[in-house]
Amino acid sequence: MGSKSLTALLTRRLIFIQAAIILVTMIGIAYQLRDNYVSYIDSNVPLTIARAMVVDHDGELTLRVDKKLNKLLDGAAGLWFVAEDEAGRRLEYGEIPAAYRGLAASVSQLQQANAHSNRAPYALTMIADVVNTSFGRIHILCGGAPTADPEGIFLVIVHYLGWRLALPLALLTLIVIPWVIRRSMSGVEGVARQAQAIDINDREVRLAKHAVPRELQPLVTAFNAALERLNEGYDAHDRFLASAAHELRAPIAILGVQIETLDAGADRARLLAGIVRLSNLAEQLLDLQRLGKHPGKFEALDLVALSREVTADVAPMAIDAGYELALDAPGSAVMVMGDRLSLSRVLTNLLQNAIAYGGRQGLITIDVKADGVFGVRDQGPGIPVAERQRVFEPFHRLRPSSTGAGLGLHLVQEIVALHGGRVELTESPEGGAWFRVKLHPAPGRQGGASPG
């Protein structure tokens, strides 16, 4: 079910309230007049008389008695009227009161008028009206059919005042209420933009409570309180990760030293490999905790030099695992803006991923392009298209039996996003996986000489 429009809802309700007020007011007026014994003539009386008139063969106005006229004549024995059309043809009926004989002579100059008598038999109660007929407009002045019934008085009031009050008020409401609501809610759009800008990396942002109407401020306050609780939960989560990683470091280091004392062999090698994975997991947990909370200061750095350093560090691990390692980079510097420690972790994690899943053979290539794109590709089995987005999810592993913790590629994506770049996974020309990272070039620094 779609959401309801506040403007439409308030407009409908206000029109309903206005109609109810007008109705109650007119009912009150009707009963007040009834209490004062004020009489009136129903507006249908002159209409019934006019519709019963015809022009005879002699060109004079005459009455054609029908059911409605008969009913009127039976119910009002003292009925009188004077009628005159635009051609000057005139018709009189009944005994005209002396008070209206002079007015009756000028009936063609009358439009709409009413006279209400408050004393029985209400002989001075009259009504004047102009009715359109098939042979032109007829001016009618009539009386002798008074009533003091409150329901009838109410209908008269509705006829003369109802639409004259209700229609302008309804039109005014349809125009003014939407304008007033839009003006009153102008701050809500700004608060909505603030809410859209909130993300996990900037958890201190809060919505401006005083930018919205007072009635909506409790909602904004509750939303800010929910953000505060979420922030506390994330902080507790970060503290847990940091504490767990720090607590793991010491026993891992002690265990590593103890294993180093064992005699060389397959068991010792497997144990050392396990210690390396545990140590790497602890460092990744620390990296996740630090990421976004204490981002390094971005500075211009050379991707070529950085890639050489990381390649040299990882080369022994790659060679022991059965791979060849190559660096394909320009002879000059490729300068980008970033944090050296974080980008070293990106390249290290990509290389460790290639070593773990590259098939234990073939060539792993680190490539650096002059436009600031760098990446790692292998000659292994590759990654299916359906899995290429999921491999960046934390703790997701392509094969359940794999040795990694599923944090390396997630950490890569988070660091690259923090740098305002993007990471892509495609198929390498050799058929394996190819991770490519695009960063922002350093202003005015690209293409210089490579340091050292």
Name the average pLDDT for the chain: 79
| pLDDT over 90 at 431, yes or no | no
Q: Which run of H or E residues covers position 53?
A: strand 53-55
Q: Tens digits of per-residue pLDDT, 116-134?
A: 777 777 788 889 999 998 8
- The full set of domain ranges for the chain reads 6-35+159-184, 44-147, 192-294, 296-438
What is the pLDDT at residue 21? 79
Give the angle 345-266-378 at the CA atoms, nearest 5°. Answer: 40
Percent of the chain's residues with pLDDT above 90: 13
pTM, two decimals, is 0.46
Q: Tens digits of per-residue pLDDT, 199-223?
A: 666 667 777 877 777 777 888 888 8
Q: Is 123 helix (H, G, I), strand (E, B) or coil?
A: coil
Residue type, 115: A
Calculate mean pLDDT across residues 275-300: 66
Residue 305 has a CB neighbour count (10 Å cut-off) of 17
Q: Tens digits of per-residue pLDDT, 303-315?
A: 999 999 999 988 8
Q: Is 295 helix (H, G, I), strand (E, B) or coil?
A: coil
Phi, psi (rounded to 5 degrees) for 40: -155, 170
CA distance 437 to 423: 4
- Do 394 and 328 contact (CB within 8 A), yes or no? no
Q: Tens digits of per-residue pLDDT, 18-39?
A: 777 777 777 776 666 555 556 7
CA distance 345 to 356: 16
Residue type, 35: D
Q: Is 29 helix (H, G, I), strand (E, B) or coil?
A: helix
What is the pLDDT at residue 302? 92
CA distance 374 to 439: 9
Rg of the chain taking only CA atoms, in angstroms: 47
Calculate mean pLDDT across residues 390-418: 71
Is domain 296-438 in CATH 3.60.15.10, yes or no? Answer: no
Q: Tens digits of per-residue pLDDT, 137-182?
A: 999 999 988 876 666 666 666 666 666 777 777 777 777 777 877 7
What is the pLDDT at residue 187? 74
Q: Tens digits of per-residue pLDDT, 51-90?
A: 999 998 888 999 888 888 888 888 888 899 999 998 889 9
